[in-house]
Chains A and B, each alone.
Chain A
Amino acid sequence: MDNPFGVTKSDDFSNEEIQRFWVEPGGVSASTLLKPTRLMSMEIIGGKGSGKTHLLRHFALAVHNPGIGEDPLSVFEKQGYLGVYVRCDSLNPARFSGKSQDAETWLAVFQYFIDLWLAQALLDKIATTIESEPAASESLDGRFPKAVCDLFDEPPECSPTTLNDLRDLIRGFQREIDVAINNLPITRKLEIRIRTGPSRLIFGVPQLLSKFSARLSKLVVLYLLDEMENLSFNQQRYINTLIRHRTGNCSFRLGARLYGIKTNETIVGEINRPGAEFDVLELDAYWRAKRQYKEFCAKLCISRLQASGYLTETRDQQVLEKILVNSFEEPTSDRFYQDYTNSLFAKCPPHERPYLKRLRNELGADWKRQKKLGIKRETDIDEVLAELKSEPYPLIEKLNIFLLYKDWSKHRDLRKSAVRIGAESRQFIASQGTEPSDYASAYQHFSADMLAQLMHDARVRVKYSGFDTFVRMSSGLPRNLLFILKNVFDWAIFHGEQPFKGKAITIDTQERAVIESSSWFFEEARPTQSADQIQRGIDRLATLFREIRYSEKPSECSLCTFSCPVTALTDRTKAMLNLAQDWSMLIKHRRGQKDRNSSRVDDKFQLSPMLAVRWELPLSRRGALALNADEVNAIFGEPDDRRFEEIKQTRTARMSVPFRDAGIEVEPALFPED
């Protein structure tokens, strides 16, 4: 059975599939984003899987097919642009370096080569468009090839008269370069005749096309250069020069990973500025900021499912989205997750629930040790536990205990605390959580963490299920979503389920798929450089978050984010943080975080939700852990674990019984109650 999500990379799509699975971004049309008829160039920056290639390839294809008998070039005329898609890796750019030649020589060769390459790509595009319509091609035979030849310094030996001859001629010039480079290591001589000046073909051929073809006269030729990260610093300088000194009717759209643009400098050292020489579209940041992202994701999935014969019963988009969302089983949150949380402890008598036993032991140990905190005799412990118990609702019990730990860390009288917390919880239950109160606020903030802790207590993994969860996990990278769904589908089939045909896909199946997807991402997001160091840093950070989340008194709710003063970090740590962002392991939040003790605004970073799953952390950020420079250096910059372990101990000691370093010493009561 074909997996509707089997193809996760648009590279694997045919042109026909690129159009079939194209989904307009929510809210605006893609043309508004890419502005294909605008002459100012644009960088389209995004993480791996953010949809750059699909976007660029979509604009390389005609939006409409020509009608019968219609001139094929008329489709470009109508849309006002002609997109020429070129993957930079196809240039095999690494060969324009080394081999005992200096950088200047290679730059000159590369300029000539890419000029020939783009000219060929453009002519190939025209030729394949008009090959089925001889009438259209006539206008580009004869004078057009001759005019293109005039762009070379000297007329070629045999003058082409047709478009195909012209393509062969340029291909021949390119082969001269290829052969010379191939033989260079043997002959140790690089003998290349550069036959035209830089950019003359890139700018000249589009102008000649508009001159010789009435259909193309008002057309913008859009060079869509994808995978820019494959070009070296110097090679990018040439592209930047083309962007700055562009003439005529062409423009550039550059697709690059987050780290892909190495410079905005031109050959002569001018700096291209965003907004002046080029626009920037940051694709994954764009997705993350858009409320319509979920809608876009739903459409993306529905188009895949429908192409595979699923969800064909209606065309109503809202109904389809509902069917999609309902295709995934999720635990019901009704009555404070009563059904789900009771099922976790089905084999355990209510008074034996592990978190209650643990609290009893901790109170007992503390009572024996110091007899503080209002516990005067052993039976007081039973009273405290009785106040906190809420047998039908394990989540409420867990929250009660968390609130007690908070009071414990402040050295309050725990008998009084338990009475107050118990009363508040009963009121909260009675109002079904609708009345605003401190307790309700605590529930709102910490219920997800307490639910996760309950699962931990029951020795099961935290569940991540449901379409919304997967969309959140993808965090602006649609490929991540497709990969999760691909795994969900595969696991569902393996478990004998019938995905998207009736019964919802079980939580168990989703859990397996999510774990697999997270592991894949952890491996996939390995940078070429410093991969082990980055993975170690991420592992430490996530471990710290995890220790805090599963501590008795987590300092922050839904912890998956930290803030820090980046300027105070070591260079090595800064480099690691940059790499982690470049590979989408960390997401930087633009607004930063105001430091609690000063007016300083620190940078704020979220652990990728794809990775959060691996450490059973929350997907959505709420609290941010304020780390100092020393701590961040220990996490990302130190080769050995010692310093990190010290920091982790210090941090978590404040959040675990007996709450050392809480900083508040309680005064002994003057008039003991007994």
Chain B
Amino acid sequence: MVDYTICYKEQLQPDAYFAAHTFDLFCAALTSDDRAHILFDKANAHRKQWLVLPEYKFNSAEIPQGSYTHDIGTGEADYIAGFLDAAGLTPNSKLCIDITGLLAPYLLFLLRALAAKKIFNFEVLYAEPGKYLESEETKFSGEVVREVRQVYGFEGSHIPDTSGDLLVLGAGYDHQLLKMVAMSKEGARVVEIFGMPALRADMYQENILRASRASAALGRGAGDHQDNHLVPAHDPFMTATTLSKISESSRFTNLYLCPLATKPQVLGFGIYYLHECLNKPVSIVYPFCDVFPQKTSVGIGRVWCYSAELELNGPVSP
């Protein structure tokens, strides 16, 4: 088991943080959430760039000048590859990424692509919401799932024996998404990871409420929570450590990972995968939706900074 909790994380005050740090590039996904704009405005960087993800459906009048846009329908890999080509980053570039609005497949592929470019160390920021718009009824996606598939670059090398397949779900608020993923891997035993402590006190219960609606699809033992793990929702390194622990303690034939909760959780899944799973019978799957709401929260909560270190156990190669 790898202990990722030695990696650096801190809760920061944006003003003080950016007074002390200047970056070559600061990037964030454009959403209508206050928290994304507050951080973007305060960021201290030679170049600041919004990433306009097609799924948020911003119209051209809403897109700030200088934002990075890309055609819809070409997938997370083309989008991120195009962005990195244009960004002209080198292994020594000082990069800061606000992952608050970055959709999971983009964030995951970004990690993979940065590692391939030998950019192993960079700062990752995440701003918690002040409050979700509709509490546990908040919709984080259009809930119309186009397909459930592996995230590009996280497709592993699986084996035909499916008798002991394991699906680790980072359970988020979207019970339809949970259900779709579970249904796409019906033969797999499901282990759920819940955010505890959640980003805010009431979110754990809300999360459980939503996830319980998918319990029938999760199969045997779902709902009795014997296989559930609780990991702080804001801590990618605890998430990565938990995944490492689960994979070490479970005998599985194929392992499927699916991060559906917070962005720090997605980051944790990505870090764990790049360190321990490349080209093994492990992949990250995700329910792809065409539409995501531009705004899901109001206000801004705690802001976290994580130091991504992708060469923890040696560099990650393509």
Show the binding face of A for B, using Cβ within 8 Å.
Answer: 6-9, 11-12, 14-15, 86-87, 89-90, 92, 94-95, 98-100, 117-118, 120-121, 124, 171, 174-175, 178-179, 181-188, 227, 483, 520, 523-524, 528-529, 531
Nearest 5 CB-CB pairings of A with B: A185-B77, A178-B157, A94-B149, A12-B220, A121-B160
- Are B152 and A99 touching (Cβ within 8 A)? yes
Interface presence of B234 (CB below 8 A): no
Interface residue from B77, B154, B184 paired with A99 (Cβ < 8 Å): B77
Q: A11-B187, A94-B150, A531-B144 are in contact. Are A182 and B163 (CB under 8 A)?
A: no
Q: A178-B155, A185-B152 are in contact. Are A90 and B160 (CB under 8 A)?
A: yes
Interface presence of B89 (CB below 8 A): no
- Are A520 and B216 touching (Cβ within 8 A)? yes
Contacts of A188 in B (CB 8 A): 81
Q: How far is the CB of B54 from chain A (nearest CB, A)?
A: 15
Closest chain A residue, CB of each to CB of B80: A185
Q: How far is the CB of A124 from chain B (nearest CB, A)?
A: 6
- Are A9 and B279 touching (Cβ within 8 A)? no
Q: A178-B155, A178-B157 are in contact. Are A94 and B78 (CB under 8 A)?
A: no
Interface presence of B41 (CB below 8 A): no
Interface presence of B278 (CB below 8 A): yes
Q: A524-B217, A528-B145 are in contact. Are A178 and B156 (CB under 8 A)?
A: yes
Q: A87-B187, A178-B157 are in contact. Are A186 and B112 (CB under 8 A)?
A: yes
Q: How far is the CB of B157 from chain A (nearest CB, A)?
A: 4
Q: How far is the CB of B281 from chain A (nearest CB, A)?
A: 9
Chain B positions 273-316 with a Cβ under 8 Å from a chain A Cβ:
278-279, 283
Interface residue from B145, B153, B217, B220 paired with A186 (Cβ < 8 Å): B153
Contacts of B189 in A (CB 8 A): 12
Q: A12-B219, A87-B187, A99-B75 are in contact. Are A174 and B157 (CB under 8 A)?
A: yes
Closest chain B residue, CB of each to CB of A183: B318
Chain B positions 184-217 with a Cβ under 8 Å from a chain A Cβ:
184-187, 189, 213, 216-217
Contacts of A6 in B (CB 8 A): 220
A-B contact pairs, 24 of them (CB 8 A): A6-B220, A7-B219, A9-B186, A12-B219, A89-B186, A92-B149, A92-B158, A94-B150, A95-B149, A99-B77, A117-B160, A118-B160, A121-B160, A175-B157, A182-B153, A182-B156, A183-B153, A185-B75, A186-B318, A524-B216, A524-B217, A528-B145, A528-B180, A531-B144
- Are A178 and B279 touching (Cβ within 8 A)? yes
Counting chain A CB atoms within 10 Å of each CB, which of B112, B113, B216 scores highest? B216
Contacts of A7 in B (CB 8 A): 219-220
- Are B157 and A94 touching (Cβ within 8 A)? no
Contacts of B185 in A (CB 8 A): 89
Q: How far is the CB of B119 from chain A (nearest CB, A)?
A: 13
Interface presence of B116 (CB below 8 A): yes
Contacts of A520 in B (CB 8 A): 216
Known: A92-B158, A124-B160, A182-B153. 15 other contacts (CB 8 A): A12-B220, A15-B163, A89-B184, A89-B185, A90-B160, A90-B254, A98-B74, A120-B160, A171-B159, A175-B157, A185-B81, A186-B116, A520-B216, A523-B213, A524-B217
Interface presence of B13 (CB below 8 A): no
Contacts of B75 in A (CB 8 A): 98-99, 185
Q: A12-B219, A87-B162 are in contact. Are A92 and B186 (CB under 8 A)?
A: no
Bound-state CA distance A89–B161 (Å) is 12
Bound-state CA distance A181–B279 (Å) is 10
Closest chain B residue, CB of each to CB of A517: B216
- Are B279 and A175 touching (Cβ within 8 A)? yes
Contacts of B150 in A (CB 8 A): 92, 94-95
Show the binding face of B for A, using Cβ within 8 Å.
Answer: 74-75, 77-78, 81, 109, 112-113, 116, 144-147, 149-150, 152-163, 165, 180, 184-187, 189, 213, 216-217, 219-220, 254, 278-279, 283, 318
- Are A182 and B278 touching (Cβ within 8 A)? yes
Bound-state CA distance A170–B152 (Å) is 24
- Are A182 and B279 touching (Cβ within 8 A)? yes
Interface residue from A8, A12, A94, A124 paired with B147 (Cβ < 8 Å): A94
Contacts of A524 in B (CB 8 A): 216-217
- Are B216 and A483 touching (Cβ within 8 A)? yes
Contacts of B112 in A (CB 8 A): 185-186
- Are B160 and A86 touching (Cβ within 8 A)? yes
Q: A6-B220, A95-B150 are in contact. Are A179 and B77 (CB under 8 A)?
A: no
- Are B109 and A185 touching (Cβ within 8 A)? yes
Bound-state CA distance A483–B217 (Å) is 12
Counting chain A CB atoms within 10 Å of each CB, which of B74, B112, B189, B220 scores highest? B220
Q: A92-B283, A95-B150, A100-B78 are in contact. Are A11 and B159 (CB under 8 A)?
A: no
Q: How far is the CB of A557 from chain B (nearest CB, A)?
A: 34
Q: How far is the CB of B83 from chain A (nearest CB, A)?
A: 13
Bound-state CA distance A120–B281 (Å) is 15
Contacts of B157 in A (CB 8 A): 174-175, 178-179, 182
Interface residue from A94, A179, A186, A528 paired with B113 (Cβ < 8 Å): A186
Bound-state CA distance A486–B77 (Å) is 44
Bound-state CA distance A86–B155 (Å) is 19
Contacts of B159 in A (CB 8 A): 120, 171
Q: A12-B220, A182-B278, A186-B318 are in contact. Are A92 and B155 (CB under 8 A)?
A: yes
Bound-state CA distance A138–B185 (Å) is 37
Bound-state CA distance A544–B99 (Å) is 49
Interface residue from B160, B162, B216, B318 paired with A187 (Cβ < 8 Å): B318
Contacts of B77 in A (CB 8 A): 99, 185-186
Q: How far is the CB of B196 from chain A (nearest CB, A)?
A: 26
Bound-state CA distance A257–B155 (Å) is 26
Closest chain A residue, CB of each to CB of B153: A185
Q: How far is the CB of A133 from chain B (nearest CB, A)?
A: 20
Interface residue from B147, B155, B219, B278 paired with A11 (Cβ < 8 Å): B219
Contacts of A8 in B (CB 8 A): 216
Bound-state CA distance A87–B161 (Å) is 9
Q: How far is the CB of B192 from chain A (nearest CB, A)?
A: 16
- Are B219 and A9 touching (Cβ within 8 A)? yes
Bound-state CA distance A174–B158 (Å) is 9
Q: How far is the CB of B116 from chain A (nearest CB, A)?
A: 5
Bound-state CA distance A90–B283 (Å) is 11
Counting chain A CB atoms within 10 Å of each CB, which of B113, B152, B160, B187 scores highest? B160
Closest chain B residue, CB of each to CB of A188: B81
Bound-state CA distance A120–B112 (Å) is 30
Contacts of A175 in B (CB 8 A): 157, 279
Contacts of A87 in B (CB 8 A): 162, 187
Closest chain B residue, CB of each to CB of A119: B160
Q: How far is the CB of B226 from chain A (nearest CB, A)?
A: 13
Counting chain B CB atoms within 10 Å of each CB, which of A15, A90, A94, A187 scores highest? A90
- Are A182 and B254 touching (Cβ within 8 A)? no
Bound-state CA distance A9–B218 (Å) is 10
Contacts of B165 in A (CB 8 A): 90
Bound-state CA distance A183–B155 (Å) is 9
Closest chain A residue, CB of each to CB of B165: A90
Q: How far is the CB of A86 from chain B (nearest CB, A)?
A: 6
Contacts of B81 in A (CB 8 A): 185-186, 188
Closest chain B residue, CB of each to CB of A174: B157
